Amino acid sequence: MPHHLLTISHHVARITLHHPPANVLNLSVLKELELVFNEVEEDEYVRVVIVTGTGRFFCAGADIHELAHLTTLHSGSEFAVRGQSLLSRIERSEKPVLVAINGTCVGGGLELALACHIRVAAAGALLGLPEIKLGLIPGFGGTQRLPRVVGASKAAEMILTGESLSAEEALRIGLVSRVVPPHELVAQAEAIAALITARGKTAVEAALHAIRGGLDIPLSEGLTREAELFSRLCVTPDKKEAVQAFLEKRQPRLAETDA
């Protein structure tokens, strides 16, 4: 039985983790996620992806039973690299990936959320990286992405103590962009997705490329990349139409949003 549910409508693909009771990321789930992300990346109709979970958990991370069998350097490295590869693909996606954190989001679950471009959490959700309590460290990119999001000091506190944060605290430190009532979570994520799909596809891809790539290079290189992408957009039909529509006080007619 699949451990995910995929629905596509209005240019938005929704991937729902469905592996009761805690939506853990075992090897089978990782393989399925690789396949489903292949599918949505290749589907030209899909403009935005939303990832969420079912039940009380968004994702409780790796399967403890599988972790117990990682007893060699090779098996440990192979497991970490498998997860890192998938999450890096998500992070590098040309399509914006939103995560709607419906419940507890810890370990590999938070690492999955960190790889997504926009994070929205339900009030009451808990977020953390508790691997230190198992004598481990995050292995799917958590030690690298979390400091880039919340700063080295707060990341070190979270990783070294293994303690979780409330969704409200996660909002305060910038780990998530908004916290909403649980019953509004999916609707809020879909509203953000709708705003994105209403923009020109080329501009969205360029913006995502500039934001994502700029995190790993010096500011001077990031500014050069931004200027290059900006200049390419200046000659697109979408830019011409959007500017003209603004001047004429009407909604733009962007060809890329009508596909």
Q: 133 and 32 in one domain?
A: yes
| Amino acid letter, 140 | F
Residues with catalytic roles: 111, 131
Q: 243 and 118 in one domain?
A: no
Pair type for strands 12-17 and 4-9: antiparallel
pLDDT tens, residue by residue, 113-144: 999 999 999 999 999 999 999 989 999 999 99
Structural domain ending residue among the three candidates 143, 178, 196: 196
Range of the domain at 59: 4-196
pLDDT at 256: 58
Q: 130 and 86 in one domain?
A: yes
Find the CATH number of the domain harbouring 20: 3.90.226.10
Structural domain ending residue among the three candidates 150, 176, 196: 196
The whole-angstrom separation of Cα 131 and Cα 62 is 10
Q: 177 and 93 in one domain?
A: yes
At 201, the pLDDT band (50, 70, 90 cuts) reads: very high
Find the CATH number of the domain harbouring 235: 1.10.12.10
Tokens encoding 134: 């198992």
Tokens encoding 196: 């994105």
pLDDT at position 257 over 60:
no
Structural domain ending residue among the three candidates 196, 227, 246: 196
Q: 157 and 45 in one domain?
A: yes
How many domains does the chain fold into?
Answer: 2
Q: 247 and 162 in one domain?
A: no
Q: At what angle are helices 142-150 and 152-161 packed, to 10 degrees?
A: 140
pLDDT at position 232 over 60:
yes
pLDDT tens, residue by residue, 100-121: 999 999 999 999 999 999 999 9
Tokens encoding 210: 């500039």
pLDDT at 258: 45
Q: Is 193 in contact with 50 (CB distance < 8 Å)? A: yes
Q: 223 and 204 in one domain?
A: yes
Pick the closest to residue 138 from 112, 118, 117, 119 (CA basis).
112
pLDDT tens, residue by residue, 11-65: 999 999 999 999 999 999 999 999 999 999 999 999 999 999 999 999 999 998 8
